[in-house]
Chain A
């Protein structure tokens, strides 16, 4: 995994798990690798992994079983809300970018519709 060094690493690790859960590469109830294994896999120090996991646990996205490890929540509402939160976060970012360019809401919708059209009709070589 490649990190952006201007953004806190723990934050990027959280985003990575969000993505894994939303795309179901991590399924409800799945057990996560141990903290040290994650540190080795992502080449990040153990404290950073722990901070990311702790926040995911506080958010209810993961739950921890004493002595057994960390697991993905089995609560489908939590996952639904997570997906909603992550998607609106991305949309909000683009909205503000386009707003800075002076686009009206109607032109933004048009721009997005045009883009989707192009992406799906014009196969990339």
Chain B
């Protein structure tokens, strides 16, 4: 199957400093891939490059075999498009306005996902708790029916119960054949969810392997494997 995402020789500098260099990988349909790395490794930058938010990089981004920035934008959904903190709008109104911007946004699907999260769409955005905001962001993101989802720390700062509920929502409502690329600080909390791990370190992808292969061949947890990249240097 053709990959939903393919990166070729991605490089990016900020103020003369190398942030990313020679980043190459592809993500197949149905994969949920974790992009792991220390703070400041460039995970969020890489997601933003793929999403087209940062334009001045070199290399090629293919999303569903397309390279045209407008086509790419229409084929990607992210959770960082929706800040939601600085508006008094009701959630439903916000979603209705969002629908105009995203050609593949499905409002009925959005309402179904909110129902799954037991999140009232009549709520005002600035009255959402942190957990509810994460729910709303994921619901907006998943209601956009596209091949590629970019999730930047979608479960960050939530208790275990809310994390599990969001993960179940993701698994339930992910479109058939879609791919997910996600980042998270807390490797343990996403260990079940992912089927592949990439480690971004020294500006590039240092490791790219299946999650169960790490467990099977090394007898390590994903978290131990991740930490081993940093211990080597001590």
Give me the interface of A with B, judged by CB distance under 8 Å: 3, 5-11, 36, 39-40, 42-48, 51
Contact = CB atoms under 8 A, between A and B. Distances in A.
Interface string B154-170: 00000000001001100
12 contacts: A5-B222, A6-B215, A6-B219, A8-B212, A9-B192, A11-B216, A36-B171, A36-B172, A40-B168, A42-B192, A43-B171, A51-B212
Contact of B212 (A36, A42, A48): A48
B32 interface: yes
Interface of B: 30-32, 164, 167-168, 171-172, 188, 191-195, 211-212, 215-216, 219-224
Contacts of B193: 43-45
Contacts of B32: 45, 47
B171 A39 contact: yes
A8 B222 CA distance: 10
Most buried by B among A36, A43, A46: A43
Contact of B215 (A5, A36, A42): A5
A99 to B, nearest CB: 20
Contacts of B219: 6
Contacts of B224: 6
Contacts of B164: 43
B28 to A, nearest CB: 10
Contacts of B172: 36, 40
